[in-house]
Chains A and B, each alone.
Chain A
Amino acid sequence: MLGLNKRDTRFLLIVIALTMLTPFILQPFPEGSALAQFNAGYPDLMQRIAIFGIFAIGFNILFGLTGYLSFGHAAFLGVGSYAVVWMYKLLDYNVLPGLALAIVTSGLFALAIGYLSLRRSGIYFSILTLAFAQMSFNLAYSVLTPITNGETGLQVYTSDPQILLGENEPNIPHLFGLVMSDSYKLNLGGWVFTFNIGYYFTAVIAILVFYLSLRIFRSPFGLMLRAVKSNQTRLNYTGVNPRPYTLAAFVISGMYAGLAGGLLAAMDPLAGAERMQWTESGAVVIMTILGGAGTLMGPVLGAGFIKYLEKIFSKINENVLDGWFSFLPDPLREVVVWIFSRFTGEGWALTLGLMFMLVVIFLPGGLMEGGERIRNLIRRRKNGSGDDASPGRTPAE
């Protein structure tokens, strides 16, 4: 189906099912129960997971397949956001023209930056992309204020032209009248499920771009990108110029990033320069690595995992912890709460840093490799005798 073999079709169907049922999956605990704070089925978080999933899928096409580590993808995220908000300002609140413009502009940006940066490889490439991104960030903050509105961030004012704005049109982001922030709440027993239009809009796009990346992974083009990663010298000797392939990968991943940035502005009609900062580029690297670079599902898992933990961990403060450990005797409880509160609430960044180090040290292939290892372990158990016939998968870089 759709140019995929049986296995991939099944895989895609599973992904579609998971994405569509996310409001149920992330809401496993009944409202008002003690575990309700682990619920993540609210629109804002689900949208973020989908959007950063798109960002990471795109980044993975570059980093996972070709091995070129870009530290400047946040620039495209920012460009996408600005493009969408500008379309709001000039036309109206319909998100489609903005998203189209976001993909086109970020693609052009990626073409220019990629054309220059890809002349170098390895750490030089990382530094070049970082330099370009920091330049864009600094310019967006200072000289380009007429376009980016500087520190305040770009937003829509009532004095903006908005030439297509009709009489009864909603004045928040919408798709032909379907307002992004509208939700339908379903009460089922103790559970409350929220179905948000913005989330489903993002989810459909996410599935489309996931399908696209699946096709790229399976195509001759994808194979060529893998060849760049495994041995570029040999590729040169066989008479292939890898530059057009890597540049295409760079532009595609830049367009994914622009789309993600545009969707951020489609959920919340604001765009700020801080989206271009290099910490944001670092975040997408972390997501991709954590999930497993070079795998199809890894980046999405990584994005979901990090965004989920970020939300949940920042919510847990000392009072919540006090409640959890109330069964412990007082002095012991204080110690335990103190230790846990270093890693939660304000300390979320510490957990992120530690988690990141642990993954890079012990599990270079990310969560996907972890899953693989566990599966192998179980299989070996079943087979009884330790036959090591299945060679360990080489971890993706």
Chain B
Amino acid sequence: MDAILLQILNGLDKGSAYALIALGLTLIFGTLGVVNFAHGALFMIGAFCAVTLQRLLSLSYVTIDETRTDFLGNPLKVRTPYLESWFGPEVGQAIIDWSVPLAIIFAIPVMVGLGFLMERGLIRHFYKRPHADQILVTFGLAIVLQEIVKYFFGANPIPTPAPEAFSGSFDFGVLLGFEPNAIIYPYWRMIYFLFALIIIGAVFAFLRFTTFGMVVRAGMADRETVGLLGIDIDKRFTIMFGIAAAVAGLAGVMYTPINSPNYHMGMDFLVLSFVVVVVGGMGSLPGAVLAGFLLGILESFASMNEVKSIFPGIDQIIIYLVAIVILLTRPRGLMGRKGVMEE
């Protein structure tokens, strides 16, 4: 029992990342009808927003302390971050420590701006082109973005820790009456899950309860008619592209403490996210979220030793296997709408 609970919890954080990326992909696909292979790159750029902010905050100047010496006997060079000298050591240290959560604020304008730029500059010209062309051009863009990040940050993963306060683990089992240490769950993963829920809730609420969201939903259903009503639907769709980019970016920002970002993390997630979108049903937002969590949890179940001893290697292929089965039995995916992207 406790093992099952533990696997569900373990699946949640990866599932959250899948759900957030798949949500953004579906938003873009549902509104603009564009298959965006560069979405993984947006996730990656979000993660590097966190890295950038951390580096900016820890910019420091060097002073030479004559009283102490390093191991070679030279006077010791002391690095003091500017923040510490401005706000005092404690506040300064705290700000640096909290750089990942702070990066959320930093990442939103960056990602929205990047999304606008992408849509206006490139994607716009590909509405009428076949899906193969859209896949290919965004694939090229993903390579370019990836190489640019690689140039600035190098090829190695960059550890970006979460704030001290969240470094421990939460003993979940005690709450439910299990032995201590039977089910422990790192705080940050819990935060990531909650954060994902908030973002997903916010996107759905935005679409459901605002006039803007209503117009966008109408546009998703019938773009032409909304245009005939004198509404500038293109502008709104561009904004939705920005929002989708921001969702992917935020998923990346918060993911940095779980997995140190490197320049190809986007590609790794992209393939899986596409599978998630297809399993959920192209163009269905709830389907994307559901499939994201479902596949995340299934993946963590498949990596249990008990399962692996029966089906060796199942943890490596479970997601693809599920996708194949679902695509062949339910062509529209779990919650796909009728008439969207059917052959």
Task: Give the interface of A toward B (CB within 8 A).
Answer: 67, 69, 116, 119-124, 126-128, 130-132, 134-135, 138-139, 141-144, 278-279, 282, 285-286, 289, 342, 347, 349-350, 352-354, 356-357, 360-361, 364, 397
Contact = CB atoms under 8 A, between A and B. Distances in A.
A134 B328 CA distance: 17
A69 B132 contact: yes
Interface string B259-296: 00000000100010011001000100000000000000
A349 B148 CA distance: 10
B320 A131 contact: yes
B143 A349 contact: yes
A279 B133 CA distance: 17
A352 B144 CA distance: 8
B137 A357 contact: yes
Nearest to B272: A134
Interface in B307-330: 312-313, 316-317, 320-321, 323-324, 327-328
Contact of B136 (A130, A143, A289, A354): A289
28 contacts: A116-B324, A120-B328, A120-B343, A121-B343, A123-B35, A123-B278, A124-B327, A124-B343, A128-B324, A131-B323, A132-B324, A138-B316, A138-B317, A285-B136, A289-B136, A347-B147, A350-B144, A352-B143, A353-B140, A353-B141, A353-B144, A353-B146, A354-B144, A356-B137, A357-B144, A360-B136, A361-B122, A397-B132
Point out which of A123, A130, A356 has the most chain B C-beta atoms below 10 A from its C-beta: A123
B316 A123 contact: no
The prevalent SS among residues of B at the interface is helix
B341 A353 contact: no
A225 to B, nearest CB: 16
Contacts of A354: 140, 144
Contact of B139 (A122, A142, A282): A282
Contacts of A128: 323-324, 327
B77 interface: no
Contacts of A130: 271, 274-275
A347 to B, nearest CB: 7
Contacts of B35: 123
A51 to B, nearest CB: 23
Nearest to B323: A131
4 closest Cβ pairs, A-B complex: A143-B313, A353-B143, A138-B316, A357-B140
B319 to A, nearest CB: 8
The prevalent SS among residues of A at the interface is helix
B130 interface: yes
Contact of B125 (A67, A350, A361): A361
Point out which of B140, B142, B146, B328 has the most chain A C-beta atoms below 10 A from its C-beta: B140
B332 to A, nearest CB: 10
B132 A120 contact: no
Given A69-B132, A350-B148, A357-B140, A134 B320 contact: yes
A116 B329 CA distance: 11
B331 interface: yes
A134 B327 contact: no
B274 A127 contact: yes
B147 A132 contact: no
Given A123-B278, A128-B327, 9 more contacts: A120-B331, A124-B278, A124-B343, A135-B320, A139-B317, A285-B136, A350-B147, A350-B148, A350-B151
A286 B313 CA distance: 31
A167 to B, nearest CB: 42
B131 interface: yes
A122 B147 contact: no
Given A116-B328, A121-B343, A397 B133 contact: yes
A352 B328 CA distance: 35
A13 B82 CA distance: 72
A143 B137 contact: no
Contacts of B151: 342, 347, 350
A364 B274 CA distance: 24
Contacts of A122: 131, 341, 343
B135 interface: yes
